[in-house]
Amino acid sequence: MRTARRILSALDYPDAQLSILIVDDPQIAEFNRTYLNHQGPTNVISFPMQEGPFADITPELLGDVVISADTAHREALDAGMEMLCRFNELLIHGILHLIGYDHVHSAAEAAIMEKKSQTLMELIEKEE
């Protein structure tokens, strides 16, 4: 996907690899329950491969981004935006998690992640 490659290049990860899985709400709810112990669907889940004792084995492999098309579609409708725009926001969010950004543990980290997300969205919108 060209958009993912542009995001990775902008983040100084031009040779990085990741997988993108687009699923429905029941599938992402299962991932959410199984791996995060949360109930119900969510919009995006990231599974970083650069954490833990085996991170050095494949340094170019960042991990997996799982996006719920159902939730993304609902969120796009609610926000009055195009589905592709919402999908790109979620893709950026997922990739940022793969490279270590976090919004859960502090408001300061959330603000940094949000600013980076906005910068990347502006870059993508300029190039489309």
Fold of 2-127: Collagenase (Catalytic Domain) (3.40.390)
Domain ranges of the chain: 2-127
Amino acid type, 45: I
Tell me the mean pLDDT in the region 51-80. 91
**pLDDT for the residue numbered 58:** 83
- Return the structure tokens found at 112: 């940094």
3 burial level (CB within 10 Å; 0-12, 13-18, 19+): middle
- The DSSP secondary structure of 81-94, one letter per residue, reads --HHHHHHHHHHHH
Q: Looking at per-residue confidence, does 108 or 78 come out higher?
A: 78
Q: pTM value?
A: 0.93
Amino acid type, 100: G
Res. 22: pLDDT tops 70 = yes
Q: What is the chain's mean pLDDT, rounded?
A: 93
- The annotated binding site is made up of 93, 97, 103
18-23-25 Cα angle (round to 5): 135
User: In this predicted model, what pLDDT tens digit does every residue of 83-116 receive, in sequence order?
Assistant: 999 999 999 999 999 999 988 778 888 899 999 9
**pLDDT for the residue numbered 61:** 93
Q: Looking at per-residue confidence, does 68 or 57 come out higher?
A: 68
- The annotated binding site for Zn(2+) is made up of 93, 97, 103
Share of the chain above pLDDT 90, in %: 78
**pLDDT for the residue numbered 128:** 67
